Amino acid sequence: MQIWTLDGENCAKNLAERISKCVTLTSLNLDLRRIYFKAYGAKCLGEGISKCGTLTSLNLKFKDNSIGENGAKYLGEEILKWVTLTSLNLDLERNIIGENGAKYLGEGISKCVTLTSLNLNLNNNNIGENGAKYLGEEILKWVTLTSLNLDLESNSIGENGAKCLGEGIAKCVTLTSLNLNLWNNSIGDNGAKYLGVGISKCVSLTSLNLNLNGNSIGENGAKNLEEEIAKCITLTSLNLDLSNNSIGDKGAKYLGEGISKCVILTSLNMNLKGNRIGDNGLKYLGEEISKYVPLTSLNLYISENSFSGKSVKYLGEEISKCISLTSLNLNL
């Protein structure tokens, strides 16, 4: 592995020329965050990397480089030439690629037919509903993936964007690990349902990390998620972040009921901060948690809600019935 950190558009070009000569590389890590090499630099780097015909692992940190739609297009055209890759980590956070940029990248990645692990960070890129739609259409072609980490935080994808993503994820039947960050995307109750339906089709999932923080999800959205998560019977690890929504008491109950059906779950991290959960919600949650018999690790974040000390006592009594617990983090 070789690691370089440089700055400047011309340096990106010079670096690309050097990389193109490293024809025996199998693993490459490039950290080029915040040097503003823009579309031209992205083109040069993509072309240089495509000359490394033996690469199997590639980690590109291109955050804050203003590559725009054209830079994403150039990268997408070169990605399809990286035919030996099995692992790709592509960080393009805050690069203003827009909806077409998301399309180009998805199309390129879909041609990497040996890829088993993908980490794609498009956080804060204004891809919108259409960008999510394009990604969803390409995701269903990523048929060799076993691990997918997709970060689309703050991209205004909305309900329809979530639907398209769910439809794409549903086709990734070989996935064992899924990390999906949709923080601050206004997907609402229906968007949560569509995602849940897609995730439930991933029949081999053992690890799920789902971040839906700040998405205007109410008790119906929680109910929809519960019904689908309950179908993920192979899960051993679940990280569910629904903080800053409005699921209320009933939503907390629904989630607890659904998760209790994941009968081999050993690790649970659930963030329900700021969800208008009162005494009844905490009681319902406690009663369901007591049924999580195989749990060895529990992290529960329920601050900024509206419950009393009495219900906290009840919650503690119910958690104490989880006799397999070895690790407990309770944030009130």
Task: List pLDDT tens digits, range 133-183.
Answer: 999 999 999 989 999 999 999 999 999 999 999 999 999 999 999 999 999
d(CA 283, CA 328): 18
Domain that holds residue 277: 2-331
What's the rounded mean pLDDT across residues 19-32?
94
Tens of pLDDT, residue by residue over 56-108, are 999 999 999 999 999 999 999 999 999 899 999 999 999 999 999 999 999 99
pLDDT (tens digit per residue) in 258-305: 999 999 999 999 999 999 999 999 999 999 999 998 999 999 999 999
Q: Which residue has the tokens 């990389």?
A: 19
User: What pLDDT digit, counting tens, does each position of 232-250 carry?
Assistant: 999 999 999 999 999 999 9
The residue behind tokens 């990604």 is 135
Q: What pLDDT is stored for residue 23 in this prediction?
A: 87
Read off the pLDDT band of 10 (50, 70, 90).
confident
The pLDDT value given to residue 323: 93
Task: Specify the pLDDT at position 303.
Answer: 96
Looking at the structure of the chain, the number of domains it has is 1
At 186-216, the pLDDT tens digits run 999 999 999 999 999 999 999 999 999 999 9
pLDDT at 2 over 50: no
**Mean pLDDT for the chain?**
95
pLDDT at position 11: 85
pLDDT bucket at 9, cuts 50 / 70 / 90: confident
Show Cβ contacts of residue 252 under 8 Å, excluding neighbours closer than 6 positions: 222, 272, 275, 277, 281, 282, 284, 285
Q: Which residues of 65-102 are buried (b: 16+ CB within 10 A; e: fewer)?
A: bbbbbbbbbbbbbbbeebeebbbbbbbbbbbbbbbbbb
Q: Cα–Cα distance between 201 and 175 in angstroms, integer?
A: 10
pLDDT for the residue 7: 55
Q: What is the CATH number of the domain that holds 62?
A: 3.80.10.10
